[in-house]
Structure 1
Amino acid sequence: MGKLKNNMNNKYVLDSISKLCLFMTIVMLMTSCVDKFLPDDLDSLGVDSRFTQTDYRPVLGRNTLMNNNFNAGNASQPLTFKIINIRKMNGDPAKELTENFPVQVWKKPYLGTEKSLEEIENKRTIENQPLFDIREHNGAFEMWAAANSSFVRTAPDSGYVFDVEVSNSGGRRYFTDMRLTPMKERPYEPSNLDETTGGATQPFVRPTSVSGMRGHRTSNFLGTSNIEVYFRKVVDENGNNIGDGNSIKFLFKDSLNSPIDPNKFALTDWDNLMHGFNMEKTDEYVKYQVAYPIPLIPYETKYTTVDGTRAHLNFRYERLGFGNRREEASLVFDFAIFEKGDWEVIFRFAQERPKFENE
């Protein structure tokens, strides 16, 4: 009888163990199946993500990067940005901004130490790009310079409207009715051209600074208001470049438009005045072979301003004043030219020319 009872107990234990094992197996299978059909961990795309700027006004004719314009908030990275539905104000598609055009891009970094035009041009190539685009993973907008952008609507026209899709593995959001209002081309800066009409507001601009420079007739110190700076692109009667479109010439004129010998600016570091090549200096002008635009990119070099956005010129000379006192004079001009060509930059001393002679 005891033996039978033990057998029954053993059978009960075995049955219990078998049922437990079966239960555990079912639980494991169910867990496995559930895991199989659960999605991967999703990134978040928070409602606090936003563009900090929604109205863009790039100037045509120059490469313009509009960055630091998106606040990701709590959104998980990386994000993917895409411009969609860019259109004119009447709702028509803006094909002029979505079709590809040949633009110049860098395939190797520009350093500011290149020794020839060929070395610079070997770092650039032509690619087909939409004129207006967005960088895929940071949301920065880019307006490319095209050889001809006259077909793009500019202010005072109301311009364009577009939407942006921002996505990650957690989903996507749409930012709608953003504005693009391009401004008319201004081939050089500082500019005397109105940003809306494109017409000249005056014939010239002023230099950046003048110091220690006395007038020949009065011996009074000259200031920026005494000097006019003219930009002139040399073209034929059809508006075409006369040369190869890779030169810049600096000229100095007195109030009667007679030439002033640039050699009189004797302290000028002509060899390092700008990133140019094959300098040609005469008693009427100084000419360089250059690559355009000037500066080539917004990057600080020894030829540019601190922020790298403009070329930095410093024309210098010295003379002996009264009491054999040394006087050093300086004419500084910070500028940019965005349009390829054979350019002349003319410095005209409108009231009186500088005094170069010793007392």
Structure 2
Amino acid sequence: MKKLLLAMTTMGLLHACVKLPADADYLSRGAGYTQSNFQPILGRTTVMPNDPFATIFNADHSTLPLTFKMLSVRDAETGDTVDIFNKTFDVLVWKEAYTGLEKTREEVEKKRVIEKHHLFEVREHSGQLVFWTPQDLQYLNAVKVQPHKGYKFDIEVSNSGGSKVIHNLELQPLRQQPFEPSNIDPVTGNSYGTLRPSTVSGIKNYNDDSYLSSSDVQMVFYKDLKSTENTLTFEFRDSAYAPIDPKKFNSTQWEKVCHHFGEPVFTSEGVTYQVAYPIPLAGITTQYTTINGIAAQSLFSFNRIGTGGIRQDCVIGTQFKIYEPGAWKIIFWFYRGNPDFRNN
């Protein structure tokens, strides 16, 4: 009897030591993208979704990691494969973190490298979609923008348990908008309305006792297409569009107007900074941005003695973004009344 029990125990131990096969990966039939239509703005490297904490793909309990592969991009109207999406281009990619403390343009550029990428890609394991901005923006002229129907594309999703193809996702790019705020319709390309500064405070009208508001000032973005420099100039114009000397804004913190390199250059018509683009360079909070870091913020100010001997702080400024490199100007035009720089 003891021998029988010993034999049974030994057999049980041997059975317990048998290595069971690992569970096979599971790929759910319900796995898929949480949206099917994507509308990036050309000229801006766009990661979709924009929120880094948002989920664009519902794995539906599939075993991770999943692998994503772009299969084809087709013209939505003709069904033809589109050659521009099969090519790779030079794009600028951050390899080290931007801090906003860089003192030279060279210091910024050492943190960015040129890589080869397709214009439109899917990230291998997150499923995020990326529309890249090529170094040569002329290539974007080959991309059809709305109101054209755009493109359809397929993505293969796989793990060791199998694969599935998600068909007929939609890519409908919007035309370039090189700056914000913008008065360019992203579909038609037509201009509409007037751009206003985001801040106008305490500025008295030269001709009476009223105070100017943002509705009394127009803001103009202008790019010098002949220049090869990367600069940003701020100009101020009176109601007759004559230049106002920027040094009249004599309490401005000129070093904090924008992230620049070297000393600002003043003329009687404006102040110019050497910069790197885009502005802001990254979506982080710095001394040159809004609190949330999503836009640059430039403020210009002066003081005057008002009624009763009270000092008045007078401010004009704007929140903005510029995506396209070049020699840019932002012009503040006091078209409805001139600022009063005089003391009472």
TM-score where L is the length of structure 2: 0.89
Partner SS, residue 150 of structure 1? helix
The one-character-per-residue Cα deviations of 1:190-213 (angstroms, maximum 9, x if unpaired) are 1121101223225x5111121112
* CA contact 1:191–1:205 (8 Å) conserved in 2: yes
The one-letter code of the counterpart of 1:342 is: A
Q: Distance in 1 between matches of 2:126 and 2:333?
A: 46
Q: Distance in 2 between matches of 1:103 and 1:245?
A: 19
Which residue of the partner structure matches residue 49 of structure 1? Answer: 31
* 1:7-22 pair list within 5 angstroms: none
1:181 aligns with 2:169: no
| Pick aligned residue for 1:84 from 71, 78, 82 | 71
Which residue of the partner structure matches residue 254 of structure 1? Answer: 238
| Pick aligned residue for 2:41 from 59, 70, 85 | 59
* 1:145-294 pair list within 5 angstroms: 145-146=133-134, 147=136, 148=138, 149-202=140-193, 204-236=194-226, 242=227, 244-278=228-262, 279-294=264-279
Task: State the 1:77 CA deviation.
Answer: 2.2
The one-character-per-residue Cα deviations of 1:255-287 (angstroms, maximum 9, x if unpaired) are 111111111112211011110122112332110
| Pick aligned residue for 1:73 from 53, 60, 65 | 60
* CA contact 1:98–1:132 (8 Å) conserved in 2: no
Which structure 1 residue ranges, 4+ long, deviate > 6 Å from structure 2? none
Which residue of the partner structure matches residue 6 of structure 1? Answer: none
Unmatched tracts of structure 2, length 5 or more: none
* 1:120-139 pair list within 5 angstroms: 120-139=108-127
Partner SS, residue 113 of structure 1? coil
Q: Percent identity?
A: 39
The one-character-per-residue Cα deviations of 1:290-336 (angstroms, maximum 9, x if unpaired) are 01111112222111122322111111122111111221121120111
Task: State the 1:45 CA deviation.
Answer: 2.8
The one-letter code of the counterpart of 1:126 is: I
Which residue of the partner structure matches residue 353 of structure 1? Answer: 338
* CA contact 1:167–1:173 (8 Å) conserved in 2: yes
Relative to structure 1, the CA distance from residue 98 to residue 305 in structure 2 (aligned partners, 3 Å threshold; closer, same or farther) is farther
**Backbone CA RMSD of aligned residues:** 2.6
Q: Distance in 1 between matches of 2:106 and 2:175?
A: 31
Q: Distance in 2 between matches of 1:251 and 1:342?
A: 13
| Pick aligned residue for 1:303 from 288, 291, 298 | 288
Task: State the 1:222 CA deviation.
Answer: 1.1
TM-score where L is the length of structure 1: 0.86
| Pick aligned residue for 1:316 from 288, 296, 301 | 301
The one-letter code of the counterpart of 1:216 is: Y
Partner SS, residue 286 of structure 2? coil
Task: State the 1:154 CA deviation.
Answer: 0.6
The one-letter code of the counterpart of 1:84 is: L
